[in-house]
C-alpha cells in the first residue's frame, strides 16, 4: 500500500503555536509594527515628518476643492466634514489592506520562525496608527482653527478604537483568504473604491433622499458618523453605528475562525 | 533530563493544488488527494545530542526540519518542541534589506524569542561575532550575501537555544567563520542544546552526529548508530538502475552461484566507508551447482544517477577452473577506489570462456561506500595534491 492510498486520519496534532503568553505576543506585535513604521519612512529625507505633511496637503487640497470649486453643500465647516470622512476611511482601508497582505509579505519569517500567526495582521494595523494619529492631529488643529472644538472631540477615542477593530477583523479574514486566493487583493481594492463612493465622504447623505438608508449597509458609514460627531455638529447616526458594530463582531468571529483553521498551513502556502 | 525535541508518529500530508478550492478553504472536503511527504516518523533529540538526518532529495528531510522549527504543523502525530529554537535555515530570512544591521539584529532577536533587555545585553557580542562592527549601522541592502548570513547566524546562535535546527549549515561564510560557528555550536551543545541537522555530507554526519536517521519517501528507513544508518543509505543508493547487460541480458544458467561477499580494507576489516583512493579487497564465494566448464569473470561498478563508473573483464585470466557440483572457490578482487563520495553497487558475472553463456550474474553482489574528500567534485578521485613552488 502506498502512502497516498492510506486514508487521512483526523487531525490529532497539537497546534504549532507555542503556549500563549500575551505579554510576549504583544511585544512581538510591537516589534513588527515599529518595523513597519520605520520602513514606511525609510530613505525619505523628511522621514517621519511625512506623517504630518501628507494629511496637511490632503486637508488643504480637499478644503480648497470643496469650498471653492464644488461649494459647501450648505454644510457649515464643510472642509472639516470632508476631512473627518476621508481620514478614518483611508485609515480603515489601508489598515485592512496591509493586514490582508501581511501574512504573505512576511513569508520569509513565517517559513523560518515559529511565531503566532495573528501578530502579522494585527501589527500591520497597529503600524498604521502612526500616520493615522498624525492625520488626526492635523484634523484637531483645523477644528481648533475653525472654532469648532468642543468636548465632542473625545469621541475620536472610541472612533480610533472602532477603526482599529474593524480593520483588524476584516484584515484577519482577508489575510487568511489571501494566502490561498491572491485574487482577494484586487477584489478588496475594487471593493474599497466602491465603498468610498458609497460612504458619503464628500457629500451629505441627505442629498440622496431615500437612497440614504441604503448607504447604512456600508459599514464605513458607522465609522464616519463617530468622527463627524467629534468635529462637526452632526449627531451620531446610531442605526449606522449599531450596524457597523454588529458587523465588526461578526467579521472578527468569522475571521478568527477561518484564520485559526488555516494558520498552521500558512508556511506551506505562502 | 528529558528530550528537547520529540516527534511521535509524525506525518505530513500536502493537499494537491487542485484541492485548493473554496470548500477546502473552509476546512472540509478536498483533502482526499495529495501526498504524504512524511509518515509515522518518530524522532528524539536529547540535550547535548546531535541527530543527523540523511536521505535523498524529496525524502522529507526539509519537512521534518520545518515541523521541528514549528513553522508547519504535522497532519498527524505529536511534536514536543522547546521554546527557544535557533533555526539555522536560510539564516537572515527575516532580515529586511532597508533596515540597518542594528535594527535587523534587534527585530530578528525579538522574533527568535529574546527580550528587549536580553538583546541590548548581548548586542555587542552578536556584532563582534559576526565581524560586522563597522557596517552595523548601514542598511543590510549594502551587505554581501556572506555578510548577511554571518549576521543572521550570529543572532540565531546567541539566543540561548535549547534546540538548533541546521540545514547544510556550514556552507555559511568563509572558513574562519565556519570554524567559529562550529566552536560556538559545540559550546551550546556542551551547555545542553540539542541539534537536529540535515546534511548531504555523509562524512559530516559520521563525524558530528551521535545518532542518525535515514528518510526515504517520508518513511524512516533506518535510525540509530550513524555508521549503520550511512550504510543503509549506501544500500539505498546502490540499488542503481540497470545499465545494460554485462554480457548478454539472458538470465544466467545458474550453473554457478555467488555466495557470501566481503568488502575488506587492507587490514581485513569491513569498513562502512572507504577513503577515496583506498585499496579494497572484494571477496566473492562461488559454488557450483553442477559440473561446470572454465569461467570468465567480469565486474562493474555502478553509481546511482551516474551509471557505469568502471568495468573490467578478466580476459587475460585467471579463469574460474572447471568445478564439480558442490565445489567452491573464492574470487578475490583488489581495487583502488579512486572514487568520490557516494554509494557504489558492484555487479558481477561469470560466463563461459567465450562469454556465450552467463553461468552466474548479479546486478548487486555488494555495495561500497566511499567517504568524501573535502573540496572534491565529480565521480573520480584523482588524489589531488598541491605544492606551491616559490622562486
- Say whether both B170 and B274 belong to one domain: no
pLDDT for res B240: 45
On the question of pLDDT at A204 being above 50, the answer is yes
Task: State the CATH number of the domain containing residue B32.
Answer: 3.40.50.300
User: CA B367, B371, B377, B380: dihedral to nearest 10 degrees?
Assistant: -50
Q: How many domains does chain B have?
A: 2
Query: Cα–Cα distance between B215 and B41 in angstroms, integer?
Result: 9
Cβ separation of A39 and B25 shorter than 8 Å? no
For residue B70, what is its C-alpha cell?
514549528
pLDDT bracket for residue A73 (50, 70, 90): low
Domain's final residue, options B235, B266, B287: B235
**Short-list A137, A124, A129, A118, CA closest to A160:** A129
Indicate the domain borders of chain A.
44-269
Q: What is the model's pLDDT at position B186? A: 86
| H/E segment holding residue A182 | none
Task: List strand residue ranges (DSSP E) for B70-149, in order.
Answer: 76-80, 85-88
Spell out which residues of chain A touch residue B112, defining contact as CB-CB under 8 Å. Answer: 113
Mean pLDDT of A26-44: 85
Residue A6 pLDDT level (bands cut at 50, 70, 90)? very low
pTM score: 0.71
Which whole number is the average pLDDT over B278-304?
A: 89
Residue A7: per-residue pLDDT: 37
Which chain A residue lies closest to B10 (C-alpha atoms)? A13
- Residue B171 has what pLDDT? 61
Q: Has residue B30 got a pLDDT over 50? A: no
**Mean of pLDDT values over B65-93:** 84
Q: Name the pLDDT band for A20 (thresholds 50, 70, 90).
A: low
Least confident of A34-38, B104-108, B165-169: B165-169
Q: Name the band, by pLDDT with cuts 50, 70 and 90, for residue B25.
A: low
Q: Is B338 helix (H, G, I), strand (E, B) or coil?
A: coil
* Distance separating alpha carbons of residues A177 and A100, to the nearest angstrom: 8
What residues of chain A have any CB closer than 8 angstroms to a CB in chain B? 3-4, 6-9, 11-18, 27-28, 31-32, 35, 38-39, 42-43, 108-115, 177, 180-181, 258, 261-262, 264-265, 267-268
The average pLDDT across B265-289 equals 87
Q: What is the DSSP string of chain A?
A: --GGGSPPPPP-PPPSSPPP-HHHHHHHHHHHHHHHHHHHHTT-SSGGGHHHHHHHHHHHHHHHIIIIIS--TT-TTHHHHHHHHHHHHHHHHHHHHHHHHHHHHTHHHHTTS---TTHHHHHHHHHTHHHHHHHHHHHHHHHHHTT---GGGGGHHHHHHHHHHHHHHHHHHHHHHHTT-TTHHHHHHHHHHHHHHTTTSSS-GGGGGGGHHHHTTSTHHHHHHHHHHHHSSPPP-HHHHHHHHHHHHHHHHHHHHHHHHHHTTHHHH-
Instruction: Note the pLDDT of residue B311.
Output: 84
Average pLDDT, chain B: 83
Mean pLDDT of A255-268: 87
Cβ separation B111–A109 shorter than 8 A: yes
Give yes or no for residue B356 having a pLDDT over 50: yes
Q: What's the mean pLDDT in B174-185?
A: 80
For residue B267, pLDDT over 50 is answered with yes
pLDDT category, A9, cuts 50, 70, 90? Answer: very low
The predicted-structure confidence for B321-349, as pLDDT tens digits, reads as follows: 888 888 899 999 998 989 888 888 888 98
Over residues A80-108, mean pLDDT? 91
Q: Does residue B250 fall inside a structural domain?
A: no
Q: Which of B206, B235, B264 is the last residue of a domain?
A: B235
In a domain, B388, yes or no: no
pLDDT in tens, A209-256: 778 788 888 899 999 999 999 988 888 889 889 999 999 999 999 999
State the residue range of the domain holding B313: 256-370
Same domain, B200 and B284: no
Looking at the fold, whether B181 and B304 belong to one and the same domain comes out as no
User: Does B308 share its domain with B201?
Assistant: no
Residue A227 to residue A157: CA distance in whole angstroms: 9
Suggest the residue from B64, B73, B221 to mutate for an interface test with chain A (most A CBs closer than 10 A): B73
Amino acid at each position: 500500500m502506498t502512502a497516498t492510498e492510506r486514508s487521512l486520519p483526523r487531525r490529532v496534532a497539537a497546534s504549532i503555536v507555542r503556549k500563549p503568553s500575551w505579554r510576549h505576543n504583544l511585544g512581538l506585535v510591537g516589534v513588527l509594527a515599529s518595523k513597519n513604521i520605520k520602513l514606511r519612512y525609510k530613505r525619505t529625507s523628511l522621514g517621519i515628518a511625512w506623517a504630518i505633511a501628507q494629511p496637511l496637503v490632503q486637508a488643504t487640497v480637499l478644503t480648497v476643492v470643496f469650498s471653492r470649486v464644488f461649494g459647501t453643500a450648505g454644510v457649515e465647516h464643510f472642509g472639516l466634514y470632508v476631512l473627518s470622512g476621508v481620514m478614518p476611511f483611508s485609515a480603515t482601508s489601508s489598515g485592512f489592506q496591509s493586514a490582508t497582505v501581511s501574512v504573505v509579505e512576511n513569508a520569509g519569517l513565517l517559513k523560518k520562525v515559529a511565531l503566532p500567526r495573528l501578530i502579522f495582521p494585527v501589527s500591520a494595523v497597529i503600524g498604521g496608527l502612526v500616520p493615522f494619529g498624525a492625520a488626526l492631529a492635523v484634523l484637531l488643529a483645523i477644528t481648533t482653527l475653525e472654532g469648532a472644538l468642543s468636548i465632542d472631540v473625545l469621541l475620536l477615542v472610541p472612533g480610533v478604537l472602532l477603526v482599529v477593530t474593524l480593520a483588524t477583523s476584516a484584515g484577519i479574514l482577508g489575510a487568511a483568504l489571501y494566502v490561498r486566493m491572491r485574487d482577494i487583493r484586487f477584489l478588496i481594492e475594487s471593493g474599497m473604491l466602491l465603498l468610498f463612493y458609497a460612504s458619503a465622504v464628500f457629500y451629505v447623505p441627505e442629498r440622496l433622499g431615500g437612497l440614504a438608508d441604503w448607504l447604512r449597509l456600508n459599514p464605513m458609514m458607522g465609522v464616519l458618523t463617530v468622527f463627524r460627531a467629534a468635529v462637526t455638529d452632526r449627531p451620531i447616526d446610531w442605526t449606522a453605528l449599531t450596524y457597523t458594530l454588529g458587523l465588526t463582531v461578526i467579521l472578527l468571529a468569522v475571521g478568527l475562525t477561518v484564520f485559526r483553521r488555516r494558520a498552521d498551513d500558512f508556511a506551506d502556502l505562502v | 533530563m528529558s528530550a528537547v525535541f520529540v516527534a511521535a508518529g509524525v506525518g505530513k500530508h500536502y493537499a494537491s493544488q487542485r484541492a485548493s478550492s473554496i470548500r477546502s478553504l473552509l476546512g472540509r472536503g478536498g483533502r482526499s488527494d495529495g501526498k504524504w511527504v512524511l509518515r509515522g516518523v518518530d524522532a528524539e533529540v536529547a540535550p547535548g545530542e546531535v541527530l543527523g538526518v540523511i536521505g535523498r532529495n524529496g525524502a522529507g528531510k526539509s519537512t521534518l526540519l520545518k515541523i521541528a522549527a514549528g513553522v508547519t504543523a504535522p497532519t498527524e502525530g505529536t511534536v514536543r518542541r522547546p521554546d527557544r529554537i535557533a533555526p539555522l535555515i536560510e539564516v537572515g530570512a527575516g532580515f529586511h534589506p532597508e533596515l540597518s544591521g542594528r535594527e535587523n539584529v534587534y527585530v530578528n532577536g525579538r522574533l527568535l524569542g529574546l527580550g528587549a533587555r536580553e538583546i541590548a545585553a548581548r548586542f555587542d557580542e552578536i556584532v563582534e561575532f559576526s565581524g560586522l562592527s563597522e557596517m552595523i549601522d548601514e542598511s543590510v541592502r549594502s551587505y554581501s550575501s556572506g555578510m548577511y548570513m554571518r549576521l543572521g547566524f550570529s543572532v540565531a546562535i546567541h539566543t540561548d537555544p535549547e534546540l538548533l535546527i541546521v540545514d547544510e549549515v556550514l556552507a555559511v561564510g568563509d572558513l574562519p567563520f565556519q570554524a567559529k560557528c562550529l566552536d560556538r555550536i559545540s559550546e551550546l551543545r556542551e551547555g545542553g542544546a540539542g541539534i537536529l541537522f540535515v546534511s548531504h555530507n555523509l562524512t559530516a554526519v559520521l563525524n558530528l552526529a551521535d545518532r542518525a536517521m535515514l528518510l526515504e519517501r517520508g518513511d524512516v528507513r533506518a535510525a540509530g548508530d550513524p555508521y549503520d544508518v550511512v550504510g543503509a543509505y549506501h544500500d539505498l543508493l546502490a540499488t542503481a538502475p540497470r545499465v545494460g547487460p554485462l554480457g548478454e541480458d539472458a538470465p544466467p544458467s545458474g550453473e554457478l552461484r555467488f555466495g557470501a561477499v566481503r568488502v575488506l580494507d587492507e587490514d581485513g576489516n569491513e569498513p562502512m566507508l572507504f577513503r577515496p583512493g583506498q585499496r579494497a579487497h572484494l571477496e566473492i564465494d562461488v559454488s557450483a551447482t553442477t559440473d561446470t566448464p572454465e569461467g570468465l569473470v567480469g565486474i562493474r561498478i555502478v553509481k546511482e544517477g551516474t551509471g557505469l563508473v568502471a568495468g573490467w573483464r578478466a580476459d587475460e585470466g585467471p579463469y574460474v577452473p572447471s568445478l564439480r557440483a558442490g565445489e567452491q572457490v573464492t574470487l578475490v578482487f583488489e581495487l583502488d577506489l579512486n572514487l568520490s563520495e557516494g554509494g557504489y553497487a558492484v555487479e558481477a558475472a561469470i560466463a563461459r570462456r567465450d562469454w556465450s553463456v552467463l553461468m552466474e550474474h548479479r546486478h548487486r553482489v555488494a555495495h561500497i561506500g566511499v567517504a568524501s574528500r573535502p573540496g572534491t567534485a565529480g565521480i573520480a578521485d584523482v588524489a589531488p595534491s598541491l605544492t606551491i613552488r616559490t622562486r
